[in-house]
Amino acid sequence: MLIGYMRVSKTDGSQTTDLQRDALVSAGVGNSYIYEDFCSGSLDDRPSLDAALKALREGDTLVVWKLDRLGRSLRHLINTMHDLTHRGIGLKVLAGQGASIDTTTPTGKLVFGIFAALAEFERELIAERTRAGLAAARARGRKGGAPFKMTPAKLRRAMAAMGKPETVVGKLCRELGITRQTLYRHVDPKGELRNDGKLLLERTGKKSK
């Protein structure tokens, strides 16, 4: 099944939905399977995107007009795409710079792999700078590092909430005091633990022993 998502933002001049909707319908998406948000790209709260992600099932394909309609940042975009791939769901981009992405095809998977590699490279650079900063701070006799925003208690609340269809992800993130990106690094849309979530529980479990 094809499920479409479109986002309309007054800040970037895309106030009208006709262009996006026409493109999605032309790609084979039924009108009743198109989810729509009215917000800027930087806002965490996107109820229709959350609903679309929850509606998708293995074998389905999420279709968007342009890549910037889906992700707020490269990292958020890659996390979303990894989640879709892990769940056996395809992603197809119809126009713009990401128009080569169709993860249901070998070429599209290759393009996605390049995007993912760039995001991983960015993460490694940030981690390297962080480690260097902490090492310099320790050399000067100071302890560094911010506390983890996700805690075991928050993680368990997130796991329980994400398993419920009525959960609004943006509201949950505000209640927990975390970003949507942090949430999806630790749990998937069904409330199942991801690697970061497993590592957090393992790390805190070892400390409590």
Q: How far apart are CA 57 and CA 111, in angstroms?
A: 23
For residues 203, 205, 208, 209, the Cα torsion angle rounded to the nearest 10 degrees is -110
Burial of 81 (0-12, 13-18, 19+ CB in 10 A): buried
Answer yes or no: are the C-beta atoms of 135 and 141 closer than 8 Å: no
Q: Exposure string (b/e) for 65-75, b if CB count within 10 Å is 16 or more?
A: bbbbbbbbeeb
Nearest to 78 by CA among 103, 43, 59, 45: 103
Query: Is residue 185 within 8 Å of 148, Cβ to Cβ?
Result: no
Known catalytic residues are 9
Q: How far is CA 53 from CA 69, 132, 145, in A?
A: 14, 38, 34
